[in-house]
Structure 1
């Protein structure tokens, strides 16, 4: 029986029907399945700015298919707006708030199914986490990527170009006029960022999981096709309800592996490791996502290159065939029998798919002639990262895959950025940014600006950066993030000193401090746990119960 029937049928449930009717719902509306629309629209996030129009077309599809749509709001913060200040502490923790709020609204109202509207970094995984918890019919529909801007530094610009350009300006590499021109010309439309950041990575991986209709993750935000797929999504959610195809029939161990394969093949954001771990946790799957990334990266070729790994952006990727082209090319190494929100399997979706544009081998290559024979994301371990460190070799020059340098240490993102802009970081340095993990940050902030400043100052091919924080999907250069255990938990990253030698070896999957085991042990014994930076409010709670990056930075309530 449909969930909503428990409160909408029978004389005893007149109370609920009267409450719905106070908002204009009719007797006929309340005889149909109730489909929630969790809409993260706001004027704060360009990736969500078009979701009002998208939601209306979803409603049209739901009505057309014979059900009743009920829209409600969900928060959503833009990583870009939170970068480089205290707001970034809240970005990752907001993922849990999103999951909790969607779960709460679905259960309070006993929706029969939900369409999840969100496009950006923590909103997409938060919504997928809620779907996995609820295990009711769900479809995720993003708002689509934005167009690229004016050409700058050899590619179509985006908002991150301004940060790179500021580094260039401080190094006297460009004029102030060139710098200022980007403000009006780098972001010509709304939409999720035009490059392959965490937002577009997770939208693509939702397709690969089977939770988004084919092409639904990457159709441009400003296109008519975005509205057309919104209506189709509304129709499909009703079919999922009728056939009782719930989220956990789609989010399985095998579909998570498919998503990992796609992430590796397109060199997606390192944050995907953490988010897929959290989604698998909510779906109660017996799978170690970190180990899967490590193992599958060795047998998954990189067959797509998208900014920051190349000059081509997300719309170029969509036109080259997108996620469907990747999965078709990879059909011998993905599980094509997995169910999807089309109510068909991956294999059936591949057979039925119609490509709107010609192939582009500059963006998507073949399994036989890939860009690289191993995946674009790698898991490193060593005496700095006993549990894990995550890097993205698909997005930086192969000459940096083995890098040994001298540590220069900072205990916050801000300290490191000031030093980089002041010219204190030089060739051969390994920049160490610590106390930015889930607990220590708190919130595991992104070291986006630090990497962009290194790039802008011409240091991206002669320095490296390691951190217990995260990186934006747009970052390139030699970096290792998600280092666990984090500094605030007494991880070895806490005891690195200025001048220590650090070795990053991607081929051998290692990250090591080049000092003796005895010296490391001595330093760890002398280490003292710092006071938490936040003791009240949501962050005060989060830093107490956040798990490590290696566990997906989920909130573990048994830690209270």
Structure 2
């Protein structure tokens, strides 16, 4: 993805860019780094909800087929034992999942997904829980996107089980948690390998990449309900600059393609990409990659009410709540407003007084929702047909404000701070 930024900045030719694209994927399976797929696979294994080694065995390894066969065997055993997800997913096992996300430098998407998983079994997991774990667990894995290794390298040194054993031995995980094997994590770990001597993929606790976790929860007048930053250590801990505001990622990409140098020193704000405004809270991987590829990684911060791919890196803050579509302060920011991000203070603020923000809010009106055609449109119209009165009200608004999608998805989706769940 970064080659696009390199191309628009003139660092590489279009032919070189196309060559990168043609050779980017070496084979089947998930993206190799500690991106969202490998993050969640590792977290689920640490939670006890998947079989040992399943998160780190490469897709094309013959062991992957053996793993699939084992899954069928263990499903039958789980039925016999009457062991259900609610018996495995507990506050303690969720903490185990958060611990491995921090140690491996995982994706910020883990915040959304683990909160949603917790809510699905009637448990509460909050942004503050992530901050607490981040304060207690060091960042140890030298994995892409911030490092140099990939998940296959982790597999070669014992895979996720070796990581789990290492973290257990250092007291970061709760070994009493039940797993899908019918045994506790500690019982499973008795057969797990230790890291081989000389490996430098997972750092020792005494020499971490960062003494605390890379995921930081920031609040302030720009994100009163919280935001999620991914700070691996190389970006610095403070950034301040004038806002450069875009209504959606497409507008930002068009601007950086035309004049990447105009972004230097700015705090790029991409809004209207939240759960309701997106809709669906899309990932800002292309914008962050364009910034890094253009050589602006140390000169630009990016804020959004959308989210990030696990492949995103740089000085980035997402999940800003409330989102712009709901009248959050991010929707009131204007070009040139001074924004400061202080990771040590966990603060994200725009230099505007409450009175100035309130004055802008009086003049603000929500933009029309973006979903106005396709399958979602048909679903909504079908559902509304059985509710004549509601259909009349919603259809009236549909003609004026394109708000038909509101009743199906947009009305129900929760903020990012509570996992974007739609079924409550």
Corresponding residue number in structure 2 for 1:404? 240
Which of 407, 410, 417 in structure 2 is aligned with 1:543?
410
* Alignment partner of 1:185 is 2:52: no
Partner of 1:314: 151
SS in structure 2 opposite 1:367?
A: coil
Matches within 5 A, 1:299-338: 299-331=136-168, 332-338=171-177
Aligned partner of 1:552 in structure 2 is 419
Contact 1:320–1:364 (Cα < 8 Å) also in 2: no
1:516 has 2:353 as partner: yes
Partner Cα separation in structure 2 for residue 489 and residue 360 of structure 1: 52
Give the equivalent residue in structure 1 for 2:333.
Answer: 496
| Higher deviation after alignment, 520-529 or 427-436 | 520-529
Distance 1:537 1:509 in 2: 43
- Asked if 1 retains the 8 angstrom alpha-carbon contact of 2:57 and 2:159, the reply is no
Q: Distance in 2 between matches of 1:227 and 1:534?
A: 41
Unpaired runs of 5+ residues, structure 2, are: 381-404
* Compared CA separation, residues 359 and 263, structure 1 to 2 (3 A): farther
Note the C-alpha offset of 1:523: 1.4
Q: After TM superposition, give the deviation of residue 233 of structure 1 in Å.
A: 1.8
Match of 2:93 among 255, 258, 261: 255
Question: Equivalents in 1 of 2:68, 2:108: separation in Å?
Answer: 29
Task: Please give the per-residue CA displacement for 1:497-531, whole angstroms capped at 9, x wherever unaligned.
Answer: 10011111111111111122221222122211222
Q: Is the 8 A contact 2:119 2:125 kept in 1?
A: no
Question: Aligned partners of 1:359 and 1:184: how far apart in 2?
Answer: 37
Partner of residue 275, structure 1: 113
1:136 aligns with: none
Contact 1:266 1:376 in 2 (8 A): no
Shift of 1:341: 0.8
Larger mean CA deviation between 415-424 and 383-392 belongs to 415-424
Q: Which runs of 5+ in 1 are unaligned?
A: 1-162
2: CA distance, partners of 1:479 / 1:173: 23
Q: Is residue 350 of structure 1 aligned with residue 189 of structure 2?
A: yes
Q: CA deviation at 1:554?
A: 0.5
Alignment of 1:419 with 2:258, yes or no, is no
User: Are 1:295 and 2:295 matched, yes or no?
Assistant: no
Once the two structures are superposed, residues 379-406 of structure 1 have per-residue CA deviations (whole angstroms, 9 ceiling, x without a partner) of 1111111111101112x6142x200011
* 1:339 is aligned to 2:206: no
Q: Deviations over 1:277-309 (max 9, x none)?
A: 100000101x33311101111111111121001
Superposed CA RMSD: 1.6
Q: Distance in 1 between matches of 2:197 and 2:45?
A: 20
TM-score computed with the length of structure 2 as normaliser: 0.89
Instruction: Specify the SS of the correspondent of 1:387.
Output: strand
Partners of 1:329 and 1:367 within 8 A in 2: no
Q: Secondary structure of 1:381's match?
A: strand
Q: Is the 8 A contact 1:209 1:251 kept in 2?
A: yes
Matches within 5 A, 1:118-267: 163-267=1-105
- TM-score, normalised by the number of residues in structure 1: 0.68
SS of the aligned residue for 2:339 comes to strand
Q: Tell me the number of residue pairs that the alignment of Structure 1 and Structure 2 aligns.
A: 391
Q: What are the Cα deviations for residues 303-338 of structure 1, in whole angstroms up to 9, with x where unaligned?
A: 112100111111112223332233222221221100
Residue 449 of structure 1 is matched in structure 2 by 286
